[in-house]
């Protein structure tokens, strides 16, 4: 399965998703991680996403991707994305929805899809808080389900 099909959060520090990196790489004919960093800022903070950016660049060039590297990148991405989402949920969402009579009952993360299970009130204000905080604190491109 190609990286492009696996929509995911590439740069967890700055919230840059794989579709943005693919689009920039194709439009700007980007060749290096530094080129991507200049174009979309991905990779400019901690550098943990550099191997993933290199994988995307190789795919755009039509080069074979080492399956072991692809698996390693996907596992790192899943782990780091889940940690980022959890941090936003616990630090920014939970305290804001508690006064609205709601609490977080669970979180599921799959690529750019995030499902937040809410116990108690599930009114529009709770949904708005969840969506706004995840988009602001994780990535604007998330597909968010609140239920």
Confidence check: pLDDT of 6 > 80 = no
User: What is the pLDDT, as a whole number, of residue 4?
Assistant: 58
Q: Which residues of 97-118 are buried (b: 16+ CB within 10 A; e: fewer)?
A: beeeebebeebebebbebebeb
The CATH number of the domain holding residue 126 is 3.30.300
Residue 18 has pLDDT above 60, yes or no: yes
- For residues 88 and 47, state if they share a domain: no
- 63: domain CATH number is 1.10.10
C-alpha span between 111 and 143 (Å, rounded): 9
- Residue 1 confidence (pLDDT) above 60: no
Give the pTM.
0.89
Distance CA 84, CA 88 (A): 6
Structural domain range at position 138: 79-146
Task: Calculate the CA dihedral of residues 29, 32, 37, 39 and round it to 10 degrees.
Answer: -10
Instruction: Of 19, 35, 22, 34, give the one whose Cα is nearest residue 61.
Output: 22
- Mean predicted lDDT score pLDDT of the chain: 93
pLDDT band at 2 (very low <50, low <70, confident <90, very high): low
Is 35 among the domain residues? yes
Looking at the structure, do residues 71 and 97 belong to the same domain, yes or no? no
List, for residues 54-105, the tens digit of each pLDDT value.
Answer: 999 999 999 999 999 899 999 999 999 999 999 999 999 999 999 999 999 9
pLDDT of 112 higher than 90: yes
């Amino acid at each position: 399965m190609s990286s492009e099909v696996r929509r995911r959060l590439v740069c967890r520090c700055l919230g840059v998703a794989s579709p943005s990196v693919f689009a920039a790489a194709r439009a700007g004919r980007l060749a290096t991680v530094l080129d991507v960093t200049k174009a979309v800022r991905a990779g400019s903070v901690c550098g943990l996403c550099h191997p993933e950016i290199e994988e995307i660049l190789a795919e755009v060039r039509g080069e074979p991707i080492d399956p072991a590297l692809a698996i390693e990148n996907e596992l790192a991405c899943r782990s780091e994305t889940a940690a980022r989402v959890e941090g936003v949920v616990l630090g920014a969402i939970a305290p804001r929805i508690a006064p609205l009579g709601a609490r977080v009952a669970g979180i599921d993360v799959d690529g750019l899809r995030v499902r937040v299970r809410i116990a108690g009130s599930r009114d529009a204000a709770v949904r708005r808080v969840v969506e706004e905080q995840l988009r602001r604190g994780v990535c604007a491109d998330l597909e968010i389900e609140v239920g």
